[in-house]
Amino acid sequence: MVIIMQREATPEQLQAVIKTIEESGFKAFVNPGVERNVVALLGALDAEKVRLADRFSVLPGVERVAPISEPYKLASRETHPQDTVVRVGKVRVGGPTLAIIAGPCSVESREQTLEVARAVKAAGANMLRGGAFKPRTSPYAFQGLGREGLEILAEARAETGLAVVTEVLDPHDLPIVERYADVIQIGARNMQNSRLLQRVGQCGKPVLLKRGAGCRVRDLLMACEYVMIEGNHQVILCERGITTFEDSTRFTTDINAVPVLKRLCHLPVILDPSHSAGDWRYVTPLAKAAIAAGADGLLVEVHPNPRDALSDGPQSLEPPKFSRLMREATKVARAVGRRMPAARRTQ
Amino acid sequence: MVIIMQREATPEQLQAVIKTIEESGFKAFVNPGVERNVVALLGALDAEKVRLADRFSVLPGVERVAPISEPYKLASRETHPQDTVVRVGKVRVGGPTLAIIAGPCSVESREQTLEVARAVKAAGANMLRGGAFKPRTSPYAFQGLGREGLEILAEARAETGLAVVTEVLDPHDLPIVERYADVIQIGARNMQNSRLLQRVGQCGKPVLLKRGAGCRVRDLLMACEYVMIEGNHQVILCERGITTFEDSTRFTTDINAVPVLKRLCHLPVILDPSHSAGDWRYVTPLAKAAIAAGADGLLVEVHPNPRDALSDGPQSLEPPKFSRLMREATKVARAVGRRMPAARRTQ
Amino acid sequence: MVIIMQREATPEQLQAVIKTIEESGFKAFVNPGVERNVVALLGALDAEKVRLADRFSVLPGVERVAPISEPYKLASRETHPQDTVVRVGKVRVGGPTLAIIAGPCSVESREQTLEVARAVKAAGANMLRGGAFKPRTSPYAFQGLGREGLEILAEARAETGLAVVTEVLDPHDLPIVERYADVIQIGARNMQNSRLLQRVGQCGKPVLLKRGAGCRVRDLLMACEYVMIEGNHQVILCERGITTFEDSTRFTTDINAVPVLKRLCHLPVILDPSHSAGDWRYVTPLAKAAIAAGADGLLVEVHPNPRDALSDGPQSLEPPKFSRLMREATKVARAVGRRMPAARRTQ
Amino acid sequence: MVIIMQREATPEQLQAVIKTIEESGFKAFVNPGVERNVVALLGALDAEKVRLADRFSVLPGVERVAPISEPYKLASRETHPQDTVVRVGKVRVGGPTLAIIAGPCSVESREQTLEVARAVKAAGANMLRGGAFKPRTSPYAFQGLGREGLEILAEARAETGLAVVTEVLDPHDLPIVERYADVIQIGARNMQNSRLLQRVGQCGKPVLLKRGAGCRVRDLLMACEYVMIEGNHQVILCERGITTFEDSTRFTTDINAVPVLKRLCHLPVILDPSHSAGDWRYVTPLAKAAIAAGADGLLVEVHPNPRDALSDGPQSLEPPKFSRLMREATKVARAVGRRMPAARRTQ
């Protein structure tokens, strides 16, 4: 059982809760969050919990009491039945219009990024992705342009009006990433980096949380809980492929995760067909499958010249192929009662 | 390197090939097929193979010579670029019209089967599935009605006109299953039962080959090769979920396998959303995803009363839910340029 | 709930049980075994089962009544707490002396097989393995010498005194395999071939049941149940690697399965380090690990000239390397209170 | 191809390398490390690399030139054939004496930690593990005592003489963790947190790097490379189970990884049987298996009262069970020519 304190709870109120727990014969452990504290009460039998919940929920400074048997609470559709719509500027993620986030894996240069931004805008995307800080399996691989990359993304936004989605790797970089990004991305490799999740949970920007390749759906929801418990409920979840024995593709797209996540939680769910397959030839069919399965959007890698890409070339689409994806995906979106962002431009 | 003999090759011709191999200083091994023999030549260096291929391809009784480095040959799109369309009565699997195979997991009774057959026919399915011989993980589980089940399926076909798809577990049962079935199913548990594959390869009926839950895409194609090498090229491949660490669903639908198989091989590819997820709540979104990804059809479990089903109840749709699936899937099919079979009825 | 009939139960007794089930308001399904019938009673609530068990266990011809919630019964240590020792001639599998089964993947020739048999005998093995009927992923791969291979194995047994372990692929081949083999092997690809399991369950020879590469431990135990329910309780279980995302080895040895199986079931458990890793360089460390973890024996591939092997060359040990494995494994066996069979030779 | 600069290379030397790359018609990207820069040269054909390597290796400030086709370099046994022995005070990890690191999952209190430290010391362990900063899947779970936990560990070290192994979650905490720890642990969830790896690579303490549950062996070696490239070559690798479809244990111990890692790299390799199985009943057999397979040590969770543990209770051994593990493991260690640390106490 956990006792979630109010943000404005005083240290004295926290001490009073702890003292009451101990006087009741249980153990108390405080998990200090940045914006609020959560006190775990350990040792209670299930039968006692209802009675205890009543006692603690009325103490000063207590926001609410939750049974620990519910592994994720804030993300759960049980506690929040209606869909959450995440607002990114004028874009709404999780409503009838799909979120189409496209762009290069890495920001490699001003020219490359602006070229892609214009192309994906023209094809109907409503957000621009691009990595300035790149998590790479190898330390010898290109690690991103850093701040210079962020400035290039900002320039692309200024010109095209596309919101910018970019990844943060480290709490230390968060202030600068937050200054430039419209959506802060947590990548698959950092999905269980609890400190980074907590820090991002304290920032004011929406978060795009990618599932780790070796993590279960419920691990993703628990990672999401780390963000939400800090007060930031603007989280977009992203399926991007899991590691399995199948080796004809780089990862196995867990298409099941789309309806599973939509059923279990109230947050928007998008799918990244580029990383899921690791092969541009399968990106368009997977994009259409994701929309048909109920995804709220796509995250697609586009590069003007994939053969020269500094990262993820094999899975990147050239702009004309991305345009074709958008045309085909538009038909599937309509077939499932959704709109592509491009549709609104013509209204 | 393998030397594929002609069907009508004589034993003398086979011996001559073997003798030539041995005189050339290599080893010969004969893999006797039912309709033709395949002789493996072992020990040749890559550099020698071109020369050897020329020598052996001109011997009497030799159909053709193939390098063994190509793991699957007859199923490969490289050797057969155009799509194969499998004919099941009037139904064409692999063409513009999707194959919708629906019905109960097991044939439990005449009433249950006829009820489902009428319902899936009315909803637009063009084939009826139903197990008379059931492979079960547990010997204590219902093993099927056997011959009585086949007779019930035949009665349902007579009444509804739906072609019958049913599984064979054992070469011993093949004669009777072949007599009743329009399509012979090899189930996931038997995908690597090479004897059964060979026997089915000799029968005159189309084959529905399901991927084993722990098998790679290339293992499925090799299993298919066991069937095709016997002379039966009417094979429909079926993705039905693989075992992974994810446990929010029974299996993980390998949606990637749909475009991967369509690229690598020329045979029709369908998807079974019922087994893939093991949960009826995800069947409709997965069915739509499969069609959007390019599948040539669906295999769906329908039961009048899933709570009482003797097998696979949790993943079976009630007839009204299946009708809804069909209505929704029809829109997605149109969006990707395909037709549902129901569309033809009204013409 | 299942009602297991006595072997000698009459058809009338079976009908009486079915009638009683139906009169009680439940459904009955008969799973006909070769030696005995098992009747499943469906529809009973848990609360009713105790009462029903009492009623049915007293009917004529009923052996015993078992709740279906126990997924495996005959293999379970709960119902049979002491270790089962499987007898193969003078060899005891599952007792203090380890079973060391070694030999070529495939019987390729008389010379190769006799050479290996002599070598593994000299190194201390107590059984000879060798495939006469080979299950292969590819139909173009060597499929085994068939009956000729069995005769070669019999000759090797006659000369060395080693018991022969060989695989059966098909019920049709069982009579001949049974005639030559001391232990009938069911391979990983056939672990869920329920018909083959049933037929093997009716034969009088001990069975070596290999785990399917995509199958869970409990699936293996259920497959074992298919054999045991037919009356053959002389089953040796074998872990041989599972498919995972790790690709530095061909399979991932599930070493956990050794203590898990020893805890859950009473049958002997051996490990195949050759298939598990698919690389001879790891066979000796894995063999030692298996013994240290509590395995009752090993199944090791040995070939006089692995480079020329018609199957599984990369994972086969040359005889001198196998001798070294035996010397090193002997020390580990002693460290965990077990004996190598070689130890008895010196008595 | 990468050009690894010397630590003392000047900015001018770096610029000269970049200029030479660009004048040669290739692209240069600088991956700034903390202690040295690595310049990636992109676009060269394989055929050109030998010539280019010669040209760049003679430039001022260049340490060495390495082909990028080698994915891990500093960890590779090819470049460093002899075993690396990591020194932790008087303890040598990777030599004939095994490293036995034992202790509670979390430091919960002074009493609990001292009790365990004394017990594991008495049983023969030579290092103490204990988490002060805990990475947890759930934000509602106990997150560790933080600095207070580190002080308790230091007290346990002072009393018992055991070196302290503890985890760091965040670069921000590294200074304080480094002050207290003898070995800095990077946990499985942070194995691909590249920033944390880099920062730890700059500290002066040995590192224990745990494999991520969804990561391949080569991903672990690449993560290790992130640490080593910063100048810290004192890395101990730790296998701790991977996620697979098998669900009878929490993870699947990848025992193959022990001989694979020992062959591919020169660093010490230990195994954590507690997390690998997630069940105390399997810890002792797995510990013995790890030693038999060639592991250089163990990481074992011990708790005085596992039922009350704030984390990982089900996999923790009580001190008497740990003593038994040590007695049994000692015999296996001797059988493979290794020593347990306890053996030295009696000298």
Rg (Cα) of chain B, in Å, rounded? 21
User: For C173-229, what is each residue's pLDDT tens digit?
Assistant: 999 999 999 999 999 999 999 999 999 999 999 999 999 999 999 999 999 999 998
CB D95 within 8 Å of CB D295:
no
With 50 as the cut, is the pLDDT of residue B346 above it? no
Residues of C in contact with B216 (CB under 8 A): 243
Dihedral of CA atoms A232, A238, A243, A244 in degrees, nearest 10, equals: 130
Confidence of residue D197 (pLDDT cuts 50, 70, 90): very high
Residues of B in contact with C135 (CB under 8 A): 192, 194
Q: What is the DSSP string of B111-154?
A: HHHHHHHHHHHHHT-SEEE-BSS---SSTTS----THHHHHHHH
Q: How far apart are CA A125 and CA A162, in angstroms?
A: 8
Q: How far apart are CA A187 and CA A324, in angstroms?
A: 27
B294 in contact with A, Cβ within 8 Å: yes
CB contact under 8 A, A254 and B276: no
Q: Which chains lie within 8 Å of chain A at 3 or more CB pairs, if any?
A: B, C, D
Dihedral of CA atoms D247, D253, D256, D262 in degrees, nearest 10, equals: 160
Q: How far apart are CA B217 and CA B221, in angstroms?
A: 6
User: For B132-163, what is each residue's pLDDT tens digit?
Assistant: 998 888 887 778 899 999 999 999 999 999 99
Q: How far apart are CA C2 and CA C31, in angstroms?
A: 10
Which residues of chain D from 105 to 124 reach within 8 Å of chain A, CB to CB? none
Strands B235-239 and B207-210: parallel
pLDDT of residue D345: 45
Q: Which residues pair with B99 in a beta bridge?
A: B297
Distances (CA, A) of C204 to A299, C179, C199: 60, 10, 10
pLDDT of residue B345: 45
CB contact burial D131-159 (16+ within 10 A = b; e otherwise) = bbbbbbbbbbbbbbbeeebbebbbebbee
From the candidates A137, A176, A221, which should be mutated to test the interface with D, based on the most D CB atoms within 10 A?
A137
Taking the CA atoms of B87, B91, B93 and B97 in sequence, report the sign of the dihedral they define.
Answer: positive
With 60 as the cut, is the pLDDT of residue A124 above it? yes
CB B110 within 8 Å of CB B153:
no
Confidence of residue D81 (pLDDT cuts 50, 70, 90): confident
CB A150 within 8 Å of CB A133:
no
Work out the minimum CA distance from B271 to partner chain D, whole angstroms: 21
Rg (Cα) of chain D, in Å, rounded? 21
With 90 as the cut, is the pLDDT of residue B63 above it? no
Residues of chain B above pLDDT 70, percent: 94
Residues of A in contact with B289 (CB under 8 A): 255, 258, 289-290, 292-293
Query: At how many degrees (to 10) do helices C319-335 and D319-335 cross?
Result: 150
pLDDT of residue C295: 98
User: For C128-159, what is each residue's pLDDT tens digit?
Assistant: 999 999 888 888 777 889 999 999 999 999 99
Three-state SS for B40? strand
Encoded tokens for B233: 């090229």
Mean pLDDT value across residues C305-329: 90
pLDDT of residue A72: 79
Mean pLDDT value across residues D331-341: 97
CB contact under 8 A, B242 and C310: no
pLDDT of residue A32: 67
With 60 as the cut, is the pLDDT of residue C70 above it? no
C92 DSSP 8-state letter: E
Q: What is the DSSP string of C93-140?
A: ESSSBPEEEEE-SB---HHHHHHHHHHHHHHT-SEEE-BSS---SSTT
pLDDT of residue A56: 85
Mean pLDDT value across residues D2-26: 87
Q: How far apart are CA A172 and CA D210, in angstroms?
A: 23
Confidence of residue A344 (pLDDT cuts 50, 70, 90): very low
Q: How far apart are CA D67 and CA D47, in angstroms?
A: 12
Q: How far apart are CA D126 and CA D165, in angstroms?
A: 11
Distances (CA, A) of D135 to B347, C181, C208, D218: 63, 54, 44, 23
A128 φ, ψ (degrees, to nearest 5) = -110, 130
Work out the minimum CA distance from C280 to partner chain D, whole angstroms: 11
D6 φ, ψ (degrees, to nearest 5) = -70, 155
Question: What is the CB neighbour count within 10 angstroms for residue C91?
Answer: 22
Work out the minimum CA distance from B346 to partner chain C, whole angstroms: 41
Please list, in sequence order, all residues whose beta carbon lies within 8 angstroms of the beta carbon of residue D81, skipping any fewer than 6 positions away: D266
CB C286 within 8 Å of CB D256:
yes
pLDDT of residue A74: 85
CB contact under 8 A, B218 and A255: no
Residues of chain D above pLDDT 70, percent: 94
Work out the minimum CA distance from C334 to partner chain D, whole angstroms: 8
Dihedral of CA atoms B215, B216, B220, B221 in degrees, nearest 10, equals: -160
Encoded tokens for D204: 């002066």
Number of Cα atoms under 13 Å in the Cβ half of residue C325 = 36
Question: What is the CB neighbour count within 10 angstroms for residue C25?
Answer: 9
Q: How far apart are CA B11 and CA B2, in angstroms?
A: 17
pLDDT of residue D52: 78
With 90 as the cut, is the pLDDT of residue B165 above it? yes
Please list, in sequence order, all residues whose beta carbon lies within 8 angstroms of the beta carbon of residue D171, skipping any fewer than 6 positions away: A170, A171, A172, D195, D196, D199
Q: Largest Cα–Cα distance in chain B?
A: 69
Q: Which of A169, A216, A222 sits opposite D194 (nearest CB)?
A: A169
Q: Which chains lie within 8 Å of chain B at 3 or more CB pairs, if any?
A: A, C, D
| ipTM score | 0.85
pLDDT of residue D343: 46
CB A205 within 8 Å of CB A164:
no
Mean pLDDT value across residues B286-303: 98
pLDDT of residue B54: 76
pLDDT of residue B343: 46
Q: Largest Cα–Cα distance in chain C?
A: 69
List of long-range contacts for D93-96, beta carbons under 8 Å, 24+ apart: D93/D206, D93/D236, D93/D268, D93/D270, D93/D296, D93/D297, D94/D236, D94/D267, D94/D268, D94/D296, D96/D337, D96/D338, D96/D339
Work out the minimum CA distance from B186 to partner chain C, whole angstroms: 11
With 70 as the cut, is the pLDDT of residue D120 above it? yes
Encoded tokens for C97: 């002396």
B30 in contact with A, Cβ within 8 Å: no
Number of Cα atoms under 13 Å in the Cβ half of residue D257 = 31
Residues of C in contact with A244 (CB under 8 A): 245
Closest CA to D163 of D147, D148, D184: D184
Considering chain D, what is the average pLDDT of its residues? 90
D84 DSSP 8-state letter: P
With 70 as the cut, is the pLDDT of residue C47 above it? no
Q: How far apart are CA B242 and CA B213, in angstroms?
A: 4
List the end-to-end C-alpha distance of chain A, in Å, as a whole number: 51
Residues of chain A above pLDDT 70, percent: 94
CB contact under 8 A, B194 and C189: yes
Strand (E) or helix (H) holding C102:
strand C99-103
Q: Largest Cα–Cα distance in chain A?
A: 69
CB contact under 8 A, A293 and B289: yes
Work out the minimum CA distance from A38 to partner chain B, whole angstroms: 28
Q: How far apart are CA B106 and CA B135, in angstroms?
A: 10
Q: Which chains lie within 8 Å of chain C at 3 or more CB pairs, if any?
A: A, B, D
Taking the CA atoms of C56, C59, C62 and C64 in sequence, report the sign of the dihedral they define.
Answer: positive
Q: How far apart are CA C237 and CA C254, in angstroms?
A: 13
Considering chain C, what is the average pLDDT of its residues? 90
With 50 as the cut, is the pLDDT of residue C344 above it? no
A91 φ, ψ (degrees, to nearest 5) = -80, 140
Phi and psi based region of residue C34 (left: phi greater than 0; alpha: psi -120 to 50; beta: remaining): alpha
CB A212 within 8 Å of CB A192:
yes
CB contact under 8 A, C259 and D290: no
CB contact burial A7-29 (16+ within 10 A = b; e otherwise) = eebeeebbebbbebbeebebbbb
pLDDT of residue B313: 79
pLDDT of residue D77: 82
CB contact under 8 A, B216 and A248: yes
Alpha helices in B202-340 (DSSP H): 217-228, 257-264, 273-277, 283-292, 319-335
Three-state SS for B299? strand
What order of strands is seen across the sheet that includes strand D37-42?
D27-32, D37-42, D2-5, D62-66
CB contact under 8 A, B253 and A256: yes
CB contact under 8 A, C135 and B29: no
Measure the CA angle with vertex D63, ends D59 and D68; round to 5°.
95
Mean pLDDT value across residues C272-283: 95
A68 in contact with B, Cβ within 8 Å: no
With 80 as the cut, is the pLDDT of residue A328 above it? yes
Mean pLDDT value across residues C254-259: 98
B243 in contact with D, Cβ within 8 Å: yes
CB contact under 8 A, B140 and C242: no
B244 in contact with D, Cβ within 8 Å: yes
Q: How far apart are CA C323 and CA C329, in angstroms?
A: 10
Measured between CA atoms, the residue of chain B closest to residue C192 is: B189
Closest CA to A248 of C137, B289, B291, B256: B256
pLDDT of residue D110: 96
Number of Cα atoms under 13 Å in the Cβ half of residue B202 = 14
Three-state SS for C124? coil
Query: At how many degrees (to 10) do helices C46-57 and C11-23 cross?
Result: 150
Measured between CA atoms, the residue of chain D closest to residue C288 is: D292
The label of the residue with tokens 């997991």 reads B105
pLDDT of residue C138: 80
Considering chain A, what is the average pLDDT of its residues? 90
Mean pLDDT value across residues C319-340: 97
Mean pLDDT value across residues A191-208: 95
CB C210 within 8 Å of CB C185:
yes
